[in-house]
Amino acid sequence: MFDTPPTSRLEDPVELGAETCGFDPGWLAALINGEVRLDRDMAMRILETVPLFTLGRWADARCRVLHGNRVRTYVIDRNINYTNICTAHCTFCAFRRDGDDDDAYTLSREQISAKIAELEAIGGTQILMQGGMNPELPLSWYEDLLSGIKAEFPRIHIHAFSPPEFIEFVRFFDPPGDDLEAKLLYVFERLRKAGLDSLPGGGGEIFALPVRRKIGLGKCTAQEWLTVMRVAHRMGMYTSATMMFGHIEGRADRVHHMDLVRTWQDRSIADFARSGGGRYKAFISWPFQRENTPLGRLPEWEAAGGAPFPGDVVAAGGHSDRFGKVVRMAGASEYLRTQALSRLYLDNVYSIGASWVTMGPHIGQVALHFGASDMGSVMMEENVVSAAGTTYCLTEALICRLIRNAGFLPAQRDNVYNLLRVHDSDESPDTRITDWSEQRARKLAVESKHASSAPVEVTVSAGSQEVVAD
């Protein structure tokens, strides 16, 4: 099912505590070895009943079967949010602006080039370029942007434009074609010819319709999102899938979301693998960040009195007047549980990414023992999540130190998870550092029209524990 075979087998599941939690040890061993699949009922049972650290050990065992005990990866790329003008009104978003807002922006080619030059200077290999859905930009703007980047930076992999942007491209550009797939194919072919290499999985949020209707106003449906990715896979592209949880959704919605990713991945592999097709290479999930967002102003759900969370009621097929009117925020343990389940459920997705950008570097480090095999990217710049209050940022040395101190060898990877450098010497980005006090303060760049051509530098408070990797 994977493009790289498992590296080992779990032979003795006794220490994983299956029986204590009411599960058959033989079944657990088969699950961890990829010989049986979780169904949605069993996934819910695991999510709701298995203790946190036991669940972590199961996901870690599965991760070790797939990726071995030695190496965990990261990538050096740069998020470039080329515009914050957007026709959608997602209630969890603090980034979007209307075209006539004072701080609306669209980056110029020169600004984007300057950012990529900075990325290349630190050994970066790819850009992750996403924006709002800006109706003023014609298809030729994107083609010129991509071909210009490829001409100037031929070695940089362009990982760009999430499915919601592609759906808006179809609406804005009205391409030829009898159905959505044909129209998408036309846009894909134009952008790929111009230099697009692969697609990020932004805009997945939660696929369940009742949730999506309430939080993703003006954004594509789950069917549309998954169709964009299917076309990308048909074109031979490797993509990722994401999930943003910890708001109004029920836990069953998270399992339903993972199930759709797994089902559509099966189809892509069955339909396109033999002809050089792509697939989802990674799954990354993170909790909703509430600052500066309309959704974040909703009151928090109080479990006192034993009333079930309204999202759980609706996800189970019921009705609740309070659905969408309260949020159930996810903390570290809920994040780790959900990520661990994703490692167990998504048996056909190669990598699970830790989400330290939202959870902080140290929870990201712990996530390497809860099923994650990848720490994602160093963070030179991020504008979307940071607009909602998250400002963590890590250098390559810090990310390597986090991985090494979690018990693994850090390795830089490329977009398709080929290892570029395994850091097993004294000259590694972290081992050559003698004074870590210099690594404590980092800055996160946030775009602003008021900054003329340069991004505003926002200083993360010096001494912040989150940027000291131990």
Where are the extended beta strands (E) located within 18-156? 71-75, 77-81, 89-90, 126-130
Binding mask 42-81 for ligand SF4 (x = CB under 6 A): ----------------------------------------
104 contributes a contact to ligand SF4 by CB under 6 A = no
Question: Which residue do the tokens 């963070």 mark?
Answer: 379
In the complex with ligand SF4, the residue whose CB is nearer, 88 or 326, is 88
Least distance (Å) between residue 209 CB and ligand SF4: 17
Q: Which two tokens stand for residue 74?
A: 């990261």
Quick one: which of 90, 243, 363, 406 contacts ligand SF4 (CB under 6 A)?
A: 90
Least distance (Å) between residue 165 CB and ligand SF4: 8
Contact range with ligand SF4 by CB under 6 A, out of 25-33, 91-99, 112-120, 247-255: 91-99
Q: Taking Cα atoms as reference points, which of 281, 247, 244 lies closest to residue 265?
A: 281
Spatial neighbors of 427 by CB under 8 A, at least 6 apart, are none
In the complex with ligand SF4, the residue whose CB is nearer, 88 or 298, is 88
Q: Taking Cα atoms as reference points, which of 395, 394, 399, 340 lies closest to residue 375?
A: 399
Read off the amino acid at residue 262: R
Q: Taking Cα atoms as reference points, which of 232, 233, 207 lies closest to residue 221?
A: 207
Contact range with ligand SF4 by CB under 6 A, out of 87-95, 188-196, 248-256, 416-424: 87-95
Binding mask 163-182 for ligand SF4 (x = CB under 6 A): -x------------------
Spatial neighbors of 122 by CB under 8 A, at least 6 apart, are 76, 378, 380, 396
Quick one: which of 95, 283, 309, 323 contacts ligand SF4 (CB under 6 A)?
A: 95
Least distance (Å) between residue 95 CB and ligand SF4: 5
Say if CB 293 and CB 247 are below 8 A apart.
no
Least distance (Å) between residue 85 CB and ligand SF4: 9
In the complex with ligand SF4, the residue whose CB is nearer, 132 or 296, is 132
In the complex with ligand SF4, the residue whose CB is nearer, 175 or 294, is 294
- 381: alpha, beta or left, given left = phi > 0 and alpha = psi -120 to 50? beta
- Count CB neighbours of 11 within 10 A: 7
Quick one: which of 50, 93, 222, 397 contacts ligand SF4 (CB under 6 A)?
A: 93
Instruction: Find the distance separating the first CA and the last CA of the chain, reported in whole Å.
Output: 36
Query: How far is Cα 8 from Cα 144, in angstroms, rounded to an integer?
Result: 46
* Site for ligand SF4, residues 199 to 258, rule: CB under 6 A: 219
Q: Which residues bind ligand SF4 (CB under 6 A)?
A: 86, 88-90, 93, 95-96, 132-133, 164, 219
